[in-house]
Structure 1
Amino acid sequence: MSDRLVAGRAVDLGRRPTVMDLRTIDLNADLGEGFGAWQLGDDTALLSVVTSANVACGFHAGDPLIMRTVCRAAQARGVTVGAQVSYRDLAGFGRRAMDVPFEELAAEILYQLAALDGIARSCGTRVSYVKPHGALYNRIVHDREQAMAVAEAVLAYDASLPVLTLPGSVLAEVHDDLQTVAECYADRAYTPEGTLVSRRSPVAVVRDPEKVAERAVRMAVSGEVEAIDGTVVPVSARSICVHGDTPGAVELARSVRRALSDAGVQIIPFA
């Protein structure tokens, strides 16, 4: 039986890992993505599975009441709250490419972050990290100016807040004081370059719970994922994301959590 590295140790995959073999991973999901009477996903169920909640801040989804409801529920369950900031794009759910001037984007990120943190604090918790959403998330992987706008906003508000991003993102390079945390996606297809396949592609989202769980374990234990062309891509990360708006999201998240636990991976918040 071949060995794999777990937290720097060789682990025989033919046996159940011992306590000494354990590594840790965070499990995050996008929550609060309804708007007014429109509901999306099952926030309550997902909050019983994940360790970190990326809460929509009103620019791609969410509204003050939803933000407050999710923050209260997260606080009650001990789930870490993160600000899921976005381009101002309610109609496109934050997934349309936009070209926002530097100062405007920095101000809009600051606005979203401060709004959610104020609501979170009133609920007995706080924003502990930031996660860009959709088109903004993908843009700052390679666009240095847009990444710098995000960094400026976060640093202006609270330099201790880490930002979730893909491994290799230029966001990690734009400012020495910005803390970034690498994450990977159990339910999204990867390109050979290590970026996410465009949602315009019919294979962009992985929907089979068993396959999603297998990918999550491989990511957590081996730090790799298979791209759409069969290439093995390194994705060493501290957090795994499952999308709250994917059909069957709750079962996907539960499958991922069970599989990680069975593989001896301890699931705890990164922030």
Structure 2
Amino acid sequence: MKEKIDLNADIGESFGTYKLGEDENIVSYISSSNIATGFHAGDPNWMKITIDLALSNNVQIGAHPSYPDLHGFGRRNMDLNSLEIENIIKYQVGSMIGFTGLKNLQHVKPHGALYNKAVNDPMVANSIIKAIKSISTEIIHVVLAGSLWENLADESNVKYAREAFADREIMSDGSLCPRNIEGSVITDKKLIAKRSLDIVLNKKVQSFDGDYVNVDADTICLHGDTKGAVEIANVVFNNLKKNDIDIVPMCEIL
């Protein structure tokens, strides 16, 4: 049986007259997209533009909600209670559904600090799960593979996709290496391609500490704002294809 994997990327992170990333090029190499919903980046016009871009390239659509932190690009932690987290998720996912309709929204993947906090904080993870589940039980929850978050999603009987990162270093416990540590973001396209292959074929990847960590993933994230992102996506895509791995949206894997 052929191996298959979903490739996802964060897109739609432009704002007003400011353009970020090469969305129109990277969509050629991904099967699922995480589109910003206005709290860390994006705005109504860019959301519509990006949704149309994804649909025209047969790329599945996901909402990419974050903490309300435009100035910090959603990468700063915020101390919100469970109801506040539920409300910001519902608000942002609801805005996406206003453009796509419910049936065209494949998944929800939180952004930045909100994502990182959900990995180890049960209150945050459960609040995210509860908010998405209240909107629809058909929406896929994107969670970090092997995390507490994955366990909670499993216990909640929701659809979830386990995510791994090829262009980010991970720690020996499977969590993402903090961005303030030098070398946490990988830009070597050959190394990223190798890590992607390891994730799919060997179900493991080398950690920042040098150990190999078991990773059972349904989707691999490629960051659209990484230097050389399009070239990296091209190399990863073609290397997976060369190794007879099908690239399909997460809804076709679960």
Question: What interval of TM-score do these two structures reach, taking the shorter chain for normalisation?
Answer: over 0.9
Taking the TM superposition and a 5 Å limit, the aligned residue runs for 1:76-155 are 76-121=56-101, 126-155=104-133
Structure 2 equivalent of residue 231 of structure 1: 211
1:141-195 deviations in whole A, cap 9, x for unaligned? 1101111110111011111111111122222333523222111111000111111
- Which of the numbers 154, 166, 178 marks the counterpart of 1:198? 178
Q: In structure 2, what is the equivalent of residue 13 of structure 1?
A: none
CA distance in 2 between counterparts of 1:220 and 1:96 reads 31
- Distance of 1:169 and 1:161 partners within structure 2: 20
Query: What is the deviation of 1:117?
Result: 1.5
* Aligned: 1:221 with 2:195: no
Q: Which residue of 1 aligns with 2:22?
A: 42
Task: Read off the aligned partner of 2:208 and give its amino acid letter.
Answer: I
TM-score (norm 2): 0.95
Residue 128 of structure 1: SS of its match in structure 2? strand
Provide the identity percentage.
38
Distance in 2 (CA, whole Å) between partners of 1:176 and 1:149 is 11
Offset of residue 121 of structure 1 = 3.1
User: How many residues were matched structurally?
Assistant: 249
In structure 1, give the amino acid aligned to 2:149.
L
- Displacement of 1:94: 0.6
Deviation at 1:24, TM superposition (A): 0.4
Q: Secondary structure at the match of 1:113?
A: helix
Structure 1 residues not aligned, in runs of 5+: 1-19
CA RMSD of aligned residues (A): 1.3
TM-score normalized with structure 1 length = 0.89
1:166-205 equivalence runs, <5 A: 166-174=144-152, 175-205=155-185
Runs of 4+ aligned residues of structure 1 deviating over 4 Å after TM superposition are none
Query: Which residue number corresponds to residue 29 of structure 1?
Result: 9
Matched, 1:268 2:236: no
SS in 1 for 2:50: helix
Q: For 1:45-56, list aligned pairs within 5 A.
A: 45-56=25-36
Query: What amino acid does structure 1 have at the position aligned with 2:131?
Result: A
Asked if the contact 2:150–2:162 (Cα under 8 Å) also holds between the matched residues in 1, the reply is no
Task: Give the conservation status (yes or no) of the 8 Å contact 1:172–1:178.
Answer: no
2:49 matches 1:75: no
Cross-structure match for 2:233: 253
- Cα separation, 1, equivalents of 2:101 and 2:24: 20
Alignment of 1:12-23 (within 5 A): 20=1, 22-23=2-3
Deviations 1:8-60 (A, max 9, x none): xxxxxxxxxxxx4x210000000001111111101110111110000001111
Higher helix share: 2
Q: Is the 8 A contact 2:146 2:215 kept in 1?
A: no
In structure 1, the residue matched to 2:138 is 160
Gaps of 5+ in 2: none
Amino acid at match of 1:189: E
SS in 1 for 2:133: helix
- 8 Å CA contact 1:45–1:250 kept in 2: the answer is yes
The equivalent residue for 1:4 is none
Measured in 1, the distance between the counterparts of 2:192 and 2:150 equals 27
